[in-house]
Amino acid sequence: MGLIPLTELFSFLLGAALGSFANVCIHRIPRRQSVVRPPSSCPHCGERIAPLDNIPLLSYVLLKGKCRHCGGTISLRYPLVEALTGLLSLALFIRYGPTVQYLFFLAFIWILVTISFIDLDQQIIPHALSVPGVLLGLTASFFAPNRPWLDSLIGIAAGWGSLYLVAACFRRLTGKEGMGGGDMVLLAMLGAWLGWRSLPLVVLLSSVLGILIGGGALLTTRKGLGVRIPFGPFLSLGGLSYLFFGRQILAWYTSLWM
């Protein structure tokens, strides 16, 4: 096996560092705390985490998942989020190379990962992340070789509008709120980044993943159907699947009917 090329390694490390920042945002944005100050501290003893103990992935391994001061357990989720953003960044770099598209889509995946974990924790999708995500997606379309800005703009309207309609029908039929406004802005964001043509497949993928994973979780935890399953992580997964495998999925689907 040859050496990993340095630029690829760098893209992974850049992604992991952004994952470290995502961990801070996932914790602080729903609590309306600053994501810049104060520096990170241990949730158990409150001791400030030194920069050397705050290296993505590496510090977790070196500290064996425990705080240097009090020995309290560091959640496994921190290194997992860092590994996830690192791998997604690497995958983007392999696809786009050292281009402005790589940087734009790095912002895209960062917002999706951050939103997903906040939605898992708190059942909200902060507009502070999704609205800039919509605007950045539209901006990115002006630099994209094969995604006209009009596709992006229609994607925003169609993404928001389609979930708005679903929510309105659901409310009329059941008298209950089934879907939050955050989900609508998130699908608008996916429409902005992936274009309006992506939306039917993104919604289909998200729903299938939601039924399989969310339904499985409901069955194993036996919490019943009253529990609200956050839809944000599944929309994000659907969007990422489309970004990386959309062409293959469409080709496979078409081959079923030919």
Binding site for Zn ion (CB under 5 A): 42, 44-45, 67, 69-70, 72
Residue 60 CB, shortest distance to Zn ion, in Å, is 14
Q: Closer to Zn ion by CB, 49 or 153: give it.
A: 49
Q: Closer to Zn ion by CB, 43 or 215: give it.
A: 43
Q: Closer to Zn ion by CB, 50 or 135: give it.
A: 50
The rounded distance, in Å, linking the Cα atoms of 50 and 237 is: 34
Say if CB 159 and CB 187 are below 8 A apart: yes
Backbone angles phi, psi at 191, to 5 degrees: -65, -40
Residue 66 CB, shortest distance to Zn ion, in Å, is 8
> How far does Cα 10 stand from its chain's mean position?
21
Residue 254 CB, shortest distance to Zn ion, in Å, is 55
Q: Closer to Zn ion by CB, 74 or 106: give it.
A: 74
Residue 46 CB, shortest distance to Zn ion, in Å, is 7
Residue 67 CB, shortest distance to Zn ion, in Å, is 3
From residue 160, how far is each of 107, 165, 169, 192, 215 by CA, in Å? Answer: 21, 9, 15, 10, 25
Place of tokens 């059942």: 123
Say if CB 31 and CB 118 are below 8 A apart: no
Q: Closer to Zn ion by CB, 52 or 100: give it.
A: 52
The rounded distance, in Å, linking the Cα atoms of 51 and 236 is: 31
Say if CB 140 and CB 106 are below 8 A apart: no
